[in-house]
Amino acid sequence: IFPESKVPARLSLSLVGAKDAADPFFVSIEGRTAFLEMSVSGKLKSLDASSDFNLTSRISTQDVSKLSELVHTDIPITGPVWIEVGLSRDASLEEGFLNSTVKVNAEQIIAEGAGYLSWPLRKGARMTLHLETASLGNLRRWLPGEWLDPGRVSVDAAIEMLSPNEQNLNFSLQLGNNDLAGSAQMTFDLPRAIKTRGIGEQKIGLVGAFSSTRLNLMEIFPAPKPDEKAAEREGALFSSEPLVLDWLARLNVDLSFQASELITRKFKSENLSTVINIVDGVLKADSDSGQFSGGSFSLDFGIDSRAKPYKTDVHFVIDGLVVNQIPALQGAKLPLQGDVDLDIEISSRGDSLKE
């Protein structure tokens, strides 16, 4: 199979039929090298390419780097790996569909998936995924940016194709003592995105609702690094860097988010409710909180990216904020104590936050 890789191996194949032509063939394939074991077992209704079948394949290795050398492909995993893949097809399925299962155990990560799939993906295809690991650090090589380690990670997700351009997603995520769950309907060409390995310039629609009982971002993301350009701004409150908002034109979004407890370095909020809408390059966000660092707040924000300078409207109200209840300021000696009330309303045009 890999003629450039000269690895001593042992391979055995067994195909057993039956006297009755209606009975299936039984298949067994086993292979072994010094670092790899693999097997395929199951049943074939016939030897025709369109035959019904039920097959299970297993691969295990103690050293993935050796497997990478064998197949001349960089596999982004180290150490031992165990993989099981099941595929089946029978007369009860729609034409072109397969039932599939996948189980992976690698680097203290356990992942399981099941699917009712076709290619290209079309209406009716669906897939579920479960992933768990004892530490977020085990997933760092696949995650962008920097992350802390809040503890055990558990992810469950289910996606269904409503059409080639519409998908329905349900998910739940647990990061230590933090959780996030939701459902959404997405609109974009998923088969095309898979083929091109990216969404590109497609327009994306997203309608959904997310919720959390507790979400402490201070446990998940590290403190921001000092702004290297702060000295250049000489104490300016807002950045003069031009805003880049072209991406808004490719989005149609209607999302709601509710959190019983949301903690960031700037505030702690309880019973937070937020709605975000993006239509034709115009973003609007409405948010309010029953409890906000000892007080309460509401925010109405809008920005129109269709023409420069961008038109922005902000109405921000805080009632009874307690300064020493801001998470980043707890324990600090502050010249300002007590409660703070704010009512700010701004309408402006500009190409940067400073303008």
State residue 175's pLDDT score: 95
- Determine the 3-state secondary structure of 192 from DSSP: helix
Q: Name the pLDDT band for 154 (thresholds 50, 70, 90).
A: very high
Predicted pLDDT of residue 337 = 65
Residue 323's pLDDT is what? 65
Does residue 234 surpass a pLDDT of 60?
no
CB 11 within 8 A of CB 81: no
CA 177 to chain centre: 19
Which residues contact residue 250 at a Cβ distance below 8 angstroms, ignoring those fewer than 6 apart?
201, 202, 203, 204
Specify the 3-state DSSP secondary structure of 173. strand
Higher-scoring residue by pLDDT: 184, 92:
184
Between residues 233 and 286, the one the model is more confident about: 286
Amino acid letter at 205? G
Instruction: Please state, in angstroms and rounded to a whole number, the distance separating the CA atoms of residues 203 and 279.
Output: 11
Amino acid identity at 228: E
Which of 130-139, 143-152, 172-181, 240-249 has the weakest average pLDDT? 240-249
The answer, yes or no, to whether residue 62 has pLDDT greater than 90, is no
User: DSSP states of 286-314 as a string?
Assistant: EEEEEEETTEEEEEEEEEE-SSSSEEEEE
pLDDT higher than threshold 70 for residue 11: yes
* Average pLDDT of the residues in 163-168: 90
Confidence of residue 235 (pLDDT cuts 50, 70, 90): very low
Segment of 55-59, 90-94, 334-338 carrying the highest mean pLDDT: 55-59
